[in-house]
Structure 1
Amino acid sequence: MGALHSNGASWCHVIMSKPTLNLFSLVLILGLVGCGQSPSVTAPEESAGTTPESTEVAPPETDAPESQATETPRTPSSASPSGTETPSASQPSSRSSPVALAKKDCGQLTTQQEMNQCAAENYAISDKALNQVYQEVRQGLDDAAKARLTAAEERWIVFRDAQCTFESDRFEGGSMAPLIQATCMEQITDNRIAELQQTVKTEIGLADIDAQLNEVYQNVQSLASEATGEALVDVQLSWLDYRDAHCEYEANLPAAPDVKACLAVTTETRVWQLEALEEEWSL
C-alpha cells in the first residue's frame, strides 16, 4: 500500500501550505431564515450487512477513525476572507448522478418547505439503495475483506458528515439548511454506491488527476476566509482517510484493479466536488 501513503503524504503537504477547501455545490437564492431538520445516518455494523440508515439529524454513531495524515494542518496565516458567502440560487447545483435511481426534480417546486421535503425524500432513496448494495457486496467477502470494507465505510461516514455539515453550516439558522444538508448527503451517497459497484472509470492517470486536485484545492483555498479554510482542512483530511481505506479494500479483492486506478477514480470525484465549490464561491 505504498502508493496510498505516498499520495496521501503529498496531499498533507498541500494542506499544510494552505487551508483545505472543500467541496460540493451550494448554488442557492433564498435567504437565511427559519430553521429545519436535516437527515442523518447511523454507522455500519460489522454484523451481516448494515450500512448507514437515514433518520434524524444526529452525528454518526461510529467513532471517527484516526487520520492517516502524518502532519497536523496549521491555521493559515494569511487567508484572504471571501467576504459574504451568500448563495445565489435556491437550489444546489448538481452533476449527473453516477447511479440510476428514480427521484423527484426538486428544482420544479416553488416553496422552500417543499424543496426541503423533496431533497430529504431523494436522500432516503439513495440511502436505501446504498444499504442494499453494501449488503450485497459484503455477503460475498471473506472475513478479512469484510473488516476492510467496514473500515472504509466508517471513514466514508466521517467524510460524508464532515462535508455535509460544512456545507449546511453556511446556512445555519436558515430555511435552506435542510435542503443543503439533504442534497449533499444524497450526492455523496450516490458516489459511494458507484464506488462500491466499481462502475466509475476515468481516462486520467493518477499523477494528472492529483495535479488537478492540487490546483482546484488551491483555487478554493484562495476564496476562503481563515475560519472557513480551517474547517475545510478537517473535511479534506477525512476525505483522504476515506479514499485510502476504500482503495486498500479494493486492492485486496480477488479481481483487484490497479490501486492507482482506484485512487484516480476517487480523486476525480473529489476534483469535481471542489470545482463546484470554486464556481459557486466565485459568483
Structure 2
Amino acid sequence: MIARTVLGGCLASLLATAALANDLPDCVDPQSQMEMTYCAGVDYEKADADLNAIWPDIVAAAKANDEYVADMARDRGVPTTLEALRTAQRAWIKFRDAQCEYEAYEVFGGTMQPMVGSLCLARLTRERIQVLSSALQTR
C-alpha cells in the first residue's frame, strides 16, 4: 500500500511537471531518477492493460469449461472454473501488491522506491499474463 501511495504521488507530480513542460520523459533512454520512475510506471500501466485485454478471453475459456464441469463441480461442492479463476485472480492481486511493496522496501525511503515497486508490478503482471495465456492454449 505504501509503495502504491508513493508511486501514485510520484507519477502525479511527474505528469504535472511533464504537462507544464509539454514534454513527457523519453522512456527509450531515461536519464534522471524521475524519468526512470515515470517510465517504470508507464511500463506497469502497459502490462496491466495487456492483462486486462486478455481477461475476457480467460473468462470465456473458464465459462466454456464450466459447460462441461459445472454440474459435476456443484455435485461435489467445489467451485466452478469461473469461480476458481476469480478467487485465484483476487489472491494473485493481493500477492502481487504485497510482494512489490516488500521488494520496494529494499530501497525504502529512497528516490528509487517507487521505481522498484513499479518494475516489480510490471514483471509480476507479465508473468501472470504468461500463466493465463498458457492456460488458454491448453484448452
Q: One-letter code of the match for 1:153?
A: Q
Structure-1 residue corresponding to 2:87: 151
Question: Matches of 2:39 and 2:108 in 1, distance apart?
Answer: 19
Structure 2 SS opposite 1:181: helix
SS at match of 1:153: helix
How far is the alpha carbon of 1:184 from its aligned partner? 0.3
TM-score relative to the length of structure 2: 0.65
Q: Does 1:37 align with 2:26?
A: no
Counterpart CA distance in 2 for 1:119 and 1:189 is 13
Which stretch has the larger CA shift, 151-160 or 187-196? Answer: 151-160
**Counterpart in the other structure of 1:191:** 127
Q: After TM superposition, where is structure 1 displaced by more than 4 Å over at least 4 residues in a row?
A: none
Structure whose residues are more often helix by fraction? 2
Give the secondary-structure state (helix, strand or coil) at the position aligned to 1:174.
coil
Q: State the Cα deviation string for residues 167-225 of structure 1 (Å, max 9, x = none).
A: 11122221111110000000000000010000xxxxxxxxxxxxxxxxxxxxxxxxxxx
What is the TM-score with the length of structure 1 in the denominator? 0.33
The RMSD of aligned alpha carbons is: 2.4
> Which residue is 2:61 aligned to?
140
Identity of aligned residues (%): 30
The offset of 1:139, in angstroms, is 2.2
- Distance, in Å, in 2 between the alignment partners of 1:181 and 1:193 is 18
The runs of 5 or more residues in structure 1 that have no matched partner are 1-35, 40-54, 57-103, 199-249, 257-283
Amino acid at match of 1:122: D
1:245-264 to structure 2, matched below 5 A, reads: none
Give distance in 2, aligned partners of 1:158 and 1:193. 16
Task: Find 2:97's aligned residue among 161, 169, 174.
Answer: 161
Q: How does 1:101-120 map to 2 (within 5 A)?
A: 104-105=27-28, 108-120=29-41
Structure-2 residue corresponding to 1:202: none
Alpha-carbon distance in structure 2 between the residues aligned to 1:160 and 1:175: 21
Q: Point out where structure 2 has 5 or more consecutive residues left out of the alignment.
A: 13-26, 67-79
> Counterpart in 2 of 1:278?
none
The amino acid across from 2:59 in the alignment is R
Separation (CA, whole Å) in 1 of partners of 2:59 and 2:96: 20
Structure 1 counterpart of 2:21:
none
Q: Which has the larger radius of gyration?
A: 2
